[in-house]
Structure 1
Amino acid sequence: MPEVHFLPDDKRIQVRPGTTLLDAGRKAHVNIRTRCGGKAACLMCKVKAGGGGGLAAATRNEELKLGSLLADGFRLACQACVIGNVTVNVPEDPLKAAVRAQLMRQREEEW
């Protein structure tokens, strides 16, 4: 069975071929943001997949929604299906990033 490696969480999970990255992330307890429930409508589940052919070809929905981002390795986790081993980089949630940045600023001010 193919293995999906999620970064930066460094979590790995084996899934059946044809499983979407979104479903694999849920099984691995990796938070991939989505608002549309996996219908390729919100574009919140963008992830960056490593090369190596571990994902099926982009769907028409992905081509329409992502355009040139596909060439940079971005995929929609709700549409991209696993067919082999793949490494996926999940972007940090913007709210978590803002909180982390604020905490870092506070720590710097304390010193």
Structure 2
Amino acid sequence: MSTNNNVYEVTFQPSGKKAMIKRGTTVLDAARRTGLPIVTRCGGKASCMMCKVRHVGENRFGLSPTGDNELRKLGGLHEEGYRLGCQAKVIGSVELMLPEDPLRAAVRKLLEQQHDDDNTLW
């Protein structure tokens, strides 16, 4: 859905949050402006790989073409629908899966391990 030729609807998963994003905005900036920060270490220079996002909707053409540097970084992940949020720019409506916050991921893994350990004991 586009309100005009320069603004597009971007849906961020797993939250389901939708935002109208100006054409040419990076996914990294769009997520941050929407209140869904993506953690990075490189400041958006395509070197830390922490901002990987994945297409999950039908429209795979809502992001700018993948550049050579991004392709080298992603390798085979590109074929699975992954992009670097700092490099991919919104050029149409798109639905994306955002990376899990590293702290939340660590807590989730610890809780899963504790749950597995508890089940083993009984």
1:103 CA drift (Å): 3.8
Deviation per residue, 1:38-83 (Å, 9 max, x gap) = 0001111011123411011101221110021111100000000110
- Runs of 4+ with >4 A deviation: none
Number of the residue aligned with 1:27: 33
Q: Is the aligned partner of 1:37 residue 2:43? A: yes
Matched length: 111
Q: Which has the higher strand share?
A: 2
CA RMSD in angstroms, aligned pairs only: 2.2
Provide the TM-score with structure 1 as the length reference.
0.87
Structure 1: give runs of 5+ residues left out of the alignment.
Answer: none
Aligned residue among 59, 66, 84 for 2:74: 66
- Please identify the structure whose Cα radius of gyration is greater: 2
Q: Residue 75 of structure 2: SS of its match in structure 1? A: helix
Number of the residue aligned with 2:3: none
Q: Residue 36 of structure 2: SS of its match in structure 1? A: coil
Structure 2: give runs of 5+ residues left out of the alignment.
Answer: 1-6
Deviation per residue, 1:75-110 (Å, 9 max, x gap) = 00000011000001012124312313434536x95x
